[in-house]
Amino acid sequence: MDKIVLIFLVILLSIILFLLILIIIVSTMMVHKLSYPIRYDTKYTHQIDADKGLLEGIEVLKRDKIELKMRDNYIVHGDISLTDDKDNKKWIIITHGYTWTREGSLKYAKIFYKLGYNALIYDNRSHGENVHQDVTMGYKEAKDLDEIITYVIKNYGNDVYIGLHGESLGAAITLMSLKYKRENVKFVIADSSYSSLNDLVKYQITLYHLPRIILPMCSLLLKILHGYYIKDINVVEDVKNVDIPVLLVHGDSDTFIPKDEAYKLHKAIKNSELKLYKGCDHTQSVIKFPKEYSEMISDFLTRRVNKWRKQKYGKY
């Protein structure tokens, strides 16, 4: 009898050990894919948008290259387009999405530039022209954006008026940067953001039919290998006390980051609007409805942002 119990325990422990090893392997693969995605170069991303007709009119942008040194000496590449008005204090800083480059920000930059904004676009850490290390889903990148805001203030005056626009990962980075409470940042447009990395990973795990039991292991591996837990990327928590106008944009048919994420953010941000584009998948709103998208931005700036400025400062 004792021999049978021993055999049973050996089999049971073997199964547990096998499952544990399997969880570690699957979690490691998931973390690696998240942190080291396929990345595209600037020429490729530029051509993709050009082929879609999204870059018509970008010749108005006067792109002067810049290199920005971050707190850890990491170099971020970008470029600035200044308007002809040398006294112009209005700025838009645009943050691109996961795997992409700043070339993907041009379709947005031209909209703001035509509305009278100086434009700064840049490659996220580990994207584009930057040295490829790890992507931290906003953990390091939100601070990078805050340092870019510092660059604009230091170089163009303490009275600069800054707006932020982000797409996908860039939208999450943009919203997370608001925790630094910069007085110069006056509005945000976040297109297709997630509300937290926890929710995003849960959704992706379900999408790929993986067991949710790997989530704690993924979080532990992220901490060991990349310095942060999954819970540390909590966009909703970072925007709870935001009072500047925020426009949330999402496709109602988004299969990568579901529209429920936008509803969570809209609920968390008291001074936010939510615009859903019918029949649009992830970040496709500006592609399917370019004219409407431009008009939406213009309307948001003239109606919501100017009204907020008048209420807060007594002037437009």
- In single-letter form, the type of residue at position 265 comes to L
**How many structural domains comprise the chain?**
2
**Cβ(108)–Cβ(80) under 8 Å?**
no
Claim to verify: residue 106 and residue 162 sit in the same structural domain: yes
Claim to verify: residue 29 and residue 65 sit in the same structural domain: no
Claim to verify: residue 160 and residue 179 sit in the same structural domain: yes
**pLDDT of 314:** 61
Claim to verify: residue 53 and residue 184 sit in the same structural domain: yes
| Model confidence pLDDT, tens digit, residues 132-167 | 999 999 999 999 999 999 999 999 999 999 999 999
Claim to verify: residue 266 and residue 127 sit in the same structural domain: yes
3-class secondary structure per residue, the chain: CHHHHHHHHHHHHHHHHHHHHHHHHHHHHHHHHHHCCCCCCHHHHHHHHHHCCCCCCHHHCCEEEEEEECCCCCEEEEEEECCCCCCCCEEEEEECCCCCCHHHHHHHHHHHHHCCCEEEEECCCCCCCCCCCCCCCCCCHHHHHHHHHHHHHHHHCCCCEEEEEEECHHHHHHHHHHHHCCCCEEEEEEECCCCEHHHHHHHHHHHCCCCHHHHHHHHHHHHHHHCCCHHHCEHHHHCCCCCCCEEEEEECCCCCCCCHHHHHHHHHCCCEEEEEECCCCCCCHHHHCHHHHHHHHHHHHHHHHHHHHHHHHCCC
Claim to verify: residue 241 and residue 215 sit in the same structural domain: no
In a domain, 75, yes or no: yes
Claim to verify: residue 26 and residue 123 sit in the same structural domain: no
Domain of residue 274, CATH code: 3.40.50.1820
Query: Residue 316 pLDDT > 50, yes or no?
Result: no
| Model confidence pLDDT, tens digit, residues 178-201 | 999 999 999 999 999 999 999 999
Instruction: Give me the residue label for tokens 């299969």.
Output: 255
Q: What average pLDDT does the structure give for the chain?
A: 94
Identify the burial level of 310 via C-beta atoms within 10 angstroms of its C-beta, where 0-12 means exposed, 13-18 middle and 19 or more buried. Answer: exposed
Residue 16 domain boundaries: 1-35+209-232
In a domain, 222, yes or no: yes
Claim to verify: residue 28 and residue 167 sit in the same structural domain: no
pTM of the model: 0.93
| Model confidence pLDDT, tens digit, residues 236-294 | 999 999 999 999 999 999 999 999 999 999 999 999 999 999 999 999 999 999 999 99
